[in-house]
Amino acid sequence: MGLFSIGNMILKSVFRKPVTTLFPAHPMKTSNLVRGQVAIDINACIFCGMCQRKCPTNAILVERDKKGWAIERSKCVLCTNCVEVCPKKCLDMDAKLTPASFNMIKDEFNA
């Protein structure tokens, strides 16, 4: 009896369209509730470091003397603490999703 039920399931799935979508070929539809990723307007930033101090996972690195700002997206938990505390309001939550990367080198962030 088990062989017939498996065969029946296979035949049904062959003629049915897939439940999931192929992500790179067909981008996911986003809604207004999707936080996505942290975006910065670097021209408005004063490099005060408030976002770095408020980040619970230490994902943000601000270098005041070099006028540099970086975020390690794999550490970011999208809590929006950095967006709320920014005095110049140059940080925002962008609705687009972070693209997948195969070249995640930890030393580039710490350089």
- The stretches of the chain forming alpha helices (DSSP H) are 2-15, 50-54, 81-85, 106-110
- Asked whether residue 106 is assigned to any structural domain, the reply reads no
- Asked whether residue 22 is assigned to any structural domain, the reply reads yes
Higher pLDDT, 83 or 105: 83
- Asked whether residue 109 is assigned to any structural domain, the reply reads no
- Asked whether residue 92 is assigned to any structural domain, the reply reads yes
Q: DSSP code of 57?
A: T
Rounded Cα distance, 14 and 11, in Å: 5
**pLDDT > 80? residue 109:** no
pLDDT digit string (tens) for 60-100?
999 999 999 999 988 999 899 999 999 999 999 887 766 66
Domain that holds residue 54: 2-96
- Asked whether residue 7 is assigned to any structural domain, the reply reads yes
Residues sharing a CB contact under 8 Å with residue 81, sequence separation 6 or more, in sequence order: 51, 54, 55, 56
Question: Would you state the pLDDT for residue 106?
Answer: 47
- Asked whether residue 101 is assigned to any structural domain, the reply reads no
Q: How many domains does the chain have?
A: 1
Q: What is the CATH number of the domain that holds 12?
A: 3.30.70.20
